[in-house]
Structure 1
């Protein structure tokens, strides 16, 4: 399988599980079947580069009393990639700290944590990192070897024992590999076997060879672990999304049922009231037009039209109360006019006034009129802010479920090594 396909699959999963981006990047490395990686991490000027040079048997990494290692340096030797990470305190802005941690967490199969013996106890940053590395060992099987470097700078073995005891009190049971790169170099140059042995480098090299032999099995374990964890998390996420969608859809349906019920109830109620009122009336004076001489007079027609308008307004008030209770108030922005008083759902559906019995009867007493009201009020109900927000939530959740399903397919791509 090409790295491009794996990268695309990892990207699709990371879009759903962004917190797994680091693990997905690690999976990419584990799928490459590249040489094992040993990364040296620790604070600036604790002898990391010198240690690497002695372990490799050649000066592959720059050694300096200044803050020399400000980027990730690497060298391949005898089928192993060796990384010299920036010091944990190499840069005030902490960019190099991030690079050191990136090397420790992402690229390495074995971590060499270096602490200068002359510094005595571990500081807070070192303790935190060591605790995190040990937790990662328990989880993934990647090993961390703790190296107590520059032991030649201590006065004697008693002082070395005191430093070791102090660190053990900080992290009970910690295994310290005491080394001196300087002694090892002098032993090599002078052909002094005892000095070589006392340097601790040969013992550390032997331990490293043992751990390097375990890397293939450790990688297989870690790869299976990460795939299993990510798969389980995707399943949990999709189940939670499905539950959320079900709740949202149930809410949407319940709200609609309640609105339909309340709206039907109020329309039927006002229709009965209007019908009873109209049947109780006598002669229809409203249909007789007023003459010019009636302009400033109270006539039977005017009284009739006022009576009809009051009945209409009362019906509208009752309906409007139900609409307001369900958040159906303002019409959509694109339908609004400069006259703010006209920008309501009631005006849009019912109009401003009714003056004649036939219009009132058509609106409330005929089935077609009631069905029109019901239909148009439902239309505006679905356009209300609350309903649109709920519909958007449902659409977003459905999109998330689709993305989770795609991520699950992408994970199967990563599971296929070939």
Structure 2
């Protein structure tokens, strides 16, 4: 394998990873970059329209098989006098569309010049032929590849009046398209019998002249098409890179802003809790919550029970406020790795705050001292960052970064072809 083939494979892999829908154009570009490939003429048309016979007459030798039955079932190739000739299977002859695929490969990937053959006996072009010719005309605008419309088997028409009628009808279907009426039979008879008039009436000489002129334009057309494809691919990759950069920037900004909003919002919640708790935790006098109840009090309400109830209610309100903030940011449940068999315990609130009873000193330390509030912010932010939503966003960012890197690499690889 030569060095060019290796480098092309490397470029193709990089570009296809980003633009898989451009495989066809990349395959055509590969052909254009193979400088040793001779100009390629592809003959295409419906089954039994005289394509193979026409090629034989153009080359002056019976190289391609000719038969009344479906003969050409694969791309037949021959190089003659520095020109590569391809005879494609007849269009629409194979119900499985395999022949059509081969014909379109010959037209789309291989051909520099297309000889589109239509039998005069069929009259005007059918809808499928007309559609394909329109595709080829549009491709000419993009690639400068040339199409010659050949009306074959004119000898099978009754007279010149019928021939003129058929040609006029086809010309109306293809405005501005030069028609090449030919008869391979007349050409063979004129050549073998030494009949110049028959040769002239065959139309082959005029077609050969058009082909020679078209072949001279091939190098310039190839260069134009190669540059056009490289430009198209580069522009598409550049536009994609710009879009990916914007998308990645937006995702990163969202990630950053979510973090800021979560932390700032949590601090405001904690500031509100501190303000609400301050009268309770800093109340003067005896802290009755620390006085344990004894059996003699039984179910009687005591100062200790009342104080502990007030502390518990205040603590519960604080937890509800915090939990509301966690719900807003989707950071309520524990990650799978930390979950237990007790569902009610699998919450971020339990993981951070625990389940023990809180007293004045606990509430003061947790909510009313800066160190306590900072620790709550740190702990809750940790669980926020590993929540499902944040992990999903992080995965999006990683995917976006990989896609952007692939696009940048594809652009770098494609740039290597500029001087090839």
TM range (shorter): over 0.9
- Aligned residue number for residue 27 of structure 2: 25
| 1:251-266 equivalence runs, <5 A | 251-266=254-269
- Aligned residue number for residue 224 of structure 1: 227
Q: CA contact under 8 A between 1:70 and 1:90: conserved in structure 2?
A: no
RMSD (Å) for aligned C-alpha atoms: 1.7
CA distance in 2, matches of 1:274, 1:156: 109
1:248 pairs, out of 246, 251, 260, with: 251
SS at match of 1:280: coil
CA distance in 2, matches of 1:142, 1:98: 19
Please identify, of 199-208 and 278-287, the stretch whose mean Cα deviation from structure 2 is larger. Answer: 278-287
Q: CA contact under 8 A between 1:354 and 1:360: conserved in structure 2?
A: no
SS at match of 2:358: coil
SS at match of 1:148: strand
Structure 2, unaligned stretches of length 5 or more? none
Please identify, of 296-305 and 250-259, the stretch whose mean Cα deviation from structure 2 is larger. Answer: 296-305
1:294 is displaced (CA, Å) by 4.8
CA distance in 2, matches of 1:51, 1:356: 102
- Aligned residue number for residue 12 of structure 1: 14
Structure 1, unaligned stretches of length 5 or more? none
Q: CA contact under 8 A between 1:7 and 1:28: conserved in structure 2?
A: no
CA distance in 2, matches of 1:172, 1:2: 42
1:142 pairs, out of 121, 141, 145, with: 145
Aligned residues: 417
- Aligned residue number for residue 47 of structure 1: 50
| 1:407 is the counterpart of 2:410 | yes
| 1:1-400 equivalence runs, <5 A | 1-33=3-35, 34-280=37-283, 282-294=285-297, 296-400=299-403
Cα deviations by residue, 1:334-377 (Å, 9 ceiling, x for unpaired)? 11112111222222212235332222222111222111110111
CA distance in 2, matches of 1:297, 1:188: 129
Cα deviations by residue, 1:170-228 (Å, 9 ceiling, x for unpaired)? 22222111111121122222222211111111111111111111111111111111112
* Alpha-carbon spacing, 1:295–1:113, altered in 2? closer, same or farther (3 Å): farther
Q: CA contact under 8 A between 1:312 and 1:353: conserved in structure 2?
A: no
CA distance in 2, matches of 1:194, 1:59: 23
